[in-house]
A and B are shown apart, each in its own frame.
Chain A
């Protein structure tokens, strides 16, 4: 009797495995390999947020310097610091879309860091509305404080954005009135213009807040005792799913869809990601670089480790080779865009500018299908849509 029960138990266990994991004799990837990929990924996340914080600190000192002596040269320096810090932040975007520290449903600050599109008149004047926005509304907002900025974000409409990268971008460049260049806010907006002091305070505080939000998402990934890192590494299967979900959703839903296809369809400059600075092409390049970085497991300053690419090479070498080629081709195509993003979306169908953007969207979508195949090859069930 005992032996029969034991046999039954063994059988049940075997079937349990078969029906739960979708695998019986041999998993596509061993737990050890998954754990190694997850650990290396966590190191990359920590380092990439670190680089983003470092350049955001430089942005903060450039802005503080400009506000101390508001000259045109100081404004240019602050803009350059924004562009450079922006590159580093965009590289962290593959760490979104799975409810990690950046977009945890309860505590994630993503909406304060990078919400978009932004109706700029919500925070400051635009052409034809010289007294508009929180900065100029002394009655409703007697004091500009961090709480005011945070509270106002997404109040009364999803494009009522008051904080983060694009608010800072608008405060540095102003409204983009030109089809050939970025916005041209004068430095006098911070000296003699109405509410210059409130504008300066707004810029100072929202930059400060951006930095503290960035620090708050890096901390949980800390190699020594980061809380989220522990949870993440404790379940390698889940980790692998999340890693693929992050790059896949960024690639297909966010980048190819929200940020590129929507703008090409609507032809509206407002649908352009970094529309005040005309930096959208660089945003595209860096998102693609971030996706490639995660897939290849190659982040600057992080010693080599196990990567998704290595796993896929073992499971399906042909697919792996093809995907590597595509991941590089999309980056170089975006680096070679023939015109600024706003000109590409405005160009008529059939023009080289329109074609360059449409082709790149198609290539990114195609790369997304390969990423889905790669997930499949690793026995990971994951959805790239949001």
Chain B
């Protein structure tokens, strides 16, 4: 600014008056701007279909090239080996999707298919048997519903739905859809009777680098194993194995619907092998359960199929995807909704604020973030339960899902399907499905007057 000394002096004296008069940003602009920064200083201002796909605002140009390379691998379809594109062959033998972006389209959120012919790839089924879960005979731990030529796909996902009716406190009726999942056309015969099936949609991927940088101690601070404080909420950490070669004992699980992966790299490598059939330095065996002979015989794309450097690039890309800024911060409606959110107890699990600790990426370090999650497991009741334990998570526990960016899902992914299997057709339905530890808050929501329900939803839509 090239202002003269006189003008600068006058500015200082009259600053208060300018503020009263509105100035440029409006009063309280600073504080309001801060509240909009859902993902700390790296938060991006974008409300388009690209809102989840941008790098941290603070990422320097020198690191943006690695981000762009990772993005290319995130988007790119893998192909059957051998192929001329040697860096991208090795798809399958069985798989759910050909690329990361197939399910996390525009780095956003998947949805369940609308029918058998819907090409949507955003939902998969995890499988197991027994209380100490073991892979299912012939099928393994996940249903891969596609395969390369010459190898049978394991089967198809079949979804049936039945209505669940209820009423708000003011008498307004609502209807939820309770889905049931089965495997049709199983290539190795019908699933055993004790098969546990856990449906999972692809969650949005932005902001995970920030969640990874929250110190474990800060998360454990909120854990309340036996509900000693008696509020009906007993957040529990999932403890999982660390990355291969990281040594040491179990660490805090942070990612996945049941917090079964400790790091973004582990989560990405596990999705590469489980969902796309791409082996990596972390998971170097093709996913061919015993008895799947054609799968075991199929040509691979080398070992591993994604090398350490490329996996690092994809991981870096995912970690540095920015969180979009909140909209309508400080409007009377969203402020009222935010107060209701706190008053009825949503914030006990959907923690509004966390602070990140140290990180090798400057933009992730020491940031005040607003993810609306505690990263802990909570019992969500029988309606949402999949009955399938995962690490230390029981069959009815789920990790609190982050809510940041949730209002932009309709813009980026053109749908409003929420919860772990996308059963909720909108935010109200997602709230109404809460049970178990979420029951008390859900009941308070159900009994709110329509206006307050609307305000609460508008607040969520502003995130």
**With a CB–CB cut-off of 8 A, which chain B residues contact A25?**
3-4, 7
CB of B11 within 8 A of CB of A158, answer no
- Which has the most chain B C-beta neighbours within 10 Å: A8, A12, A99, A258? A12
Residue B77 lies at the interface, judged by CB distance under 8 Å to chain A:
yes
Residue B84 lies at the interface, judged by CB distance under 8 Å to chain A:
yes
Residue A360 lies at the interface, judged by CB distance under 8 Å to chain B:
no
**With a CB–CB cut-off of 8 A, which chain A residues contact B149?**
129
Residue B456 lies at the interface, judged by CB distance under 8 Å to chain A:
no
- In Å, the complex CA distance between A266 and B307 comes to 12
**With a CB–CB cut-off of 8 A, which chain B residues contact A156?**
97, 102, 105, 119-121
CB of B79 within 8 A of CB of A121, answer yes
- In Å, the complex CA distance between A267 and B77 comes to 16
Residue B21 lies at the interface, judged by CB distance under 8 Å to chain A:
yes
Q: Shortest beta-carbon distance, A59 to chain B, in Å? A: 28
Q: Shortest beta-carbon distance, B350 to chain A, in Å? A: 29
Q: How many A-B residue pairs have CB under 8 A?
A: 126
- CB within 8 A of A268: which of B24, B87, B120? B87
Residue A159 lies at the interface, judged by CB distance under 8 Å to chain B:
yes
Residue A155 lies at the interface, judged by CB distance under 8 Å to chain B:
yes
- In Å, the complex CA distance between A268 and B68 comes to 14
**With a CB–CB cut-off of 8 A, which chain A residues contact B72?**
117, 258, 262, 266, 271
CB of A14 within 8 A of CB of B10, answer yes
Q: Shortest beta-carbon distance, A317 to chain B, in Å? A: 18
- In Å, the complex CA distance between A308 and B72 comes to 33
CB of B102 within 8 A of CB of A105, answer no
**With a CB–CB cut-off of 8 A, which chain B residues contact A19?**
11, 18, 23-24
Q: Shortest beta-carbon distance, A306 to chain B, in Å? A: 23
Residue B254 lies at the interface, judged by CB distance under 8 Å to chain A:
no
Q: Shortest beta-carbon distance, B426 to chain A, in Å? A: 22
Interface size on B, residues (CB 8 A): 50
Residue A301 lies at the interface, judged by CB distance under 8 Å to chain B:
no
- In Å, the complex CA distance between A15 and B64 comes to 38
Encode contact with B along A26-40: 1 for CB under 8 Å, 0 otherwise.
000000000000000
- In Å, the complex CA distance between A158 and B72 comes to 10
- Of B47-55, B183-191, B224-232, B386-394, the segment with at least 4 beta carbons within 8 Å of chain A is B47-55
Q: Known contacts being A159-B76, A270-B85, is A18 close to B11, with CB within 8 Å?
A: yes
Q: Shortest beta-carbon distance, B62 to chain A, in Å? A: 10
Residue A22 lies at the interface, judged by CB distance under 8 Å to chain B:
yes
A22-62 residues with Cβ-Cβ distance < 8 A to B are: 22-25
- CB within 8 A of A160: which of B18, B23, B77, B84? B77
- In Å, the complex CA distance between A215 and B55 comes to 33
CB of A157 within 8 A of CB of B99, answer yes
**With a CB–CB cut-off of 8 A, which chain B residues contact A365?**
61
Residue A186 lies at the interface, judged by CB distance under 8 Å to chain B:
no
- In Å, the complex CA distance between A23 and B99 comes to 50
**With a CB–CB cut-off of 8 A, which chain B residues contact A154?**
105
- In Å, the complex CA distance between A226 and B239 comes to 61
Residue A6 lies at the interface, judged by CB distance under 8 Å to chain B:
no
Report 11 cross-chain contacts, Cβ distance below 8 Å, ordered by A residue.
A15-B7, A16-B23, A24-B3, A24-B7, A119-B98, A121-B77, A157-B105, A159-B76, A253-B64, A268-B87, A385-B61
What 20 new A-B contacts, CB under 8 Å, besides A23-B1, A128-B83, A257-B65? A12-B17, A14-B10, A15-B7, A18-B1, A18-B7, A25-B4, A99-B48, A117-B72, A129-B149, A157-B77, A157-B102, A158-B75, A158-B99, A158-B105, A159-B77, A258-B68, A258-B72, A268-B88, A270-B76, A385-B55
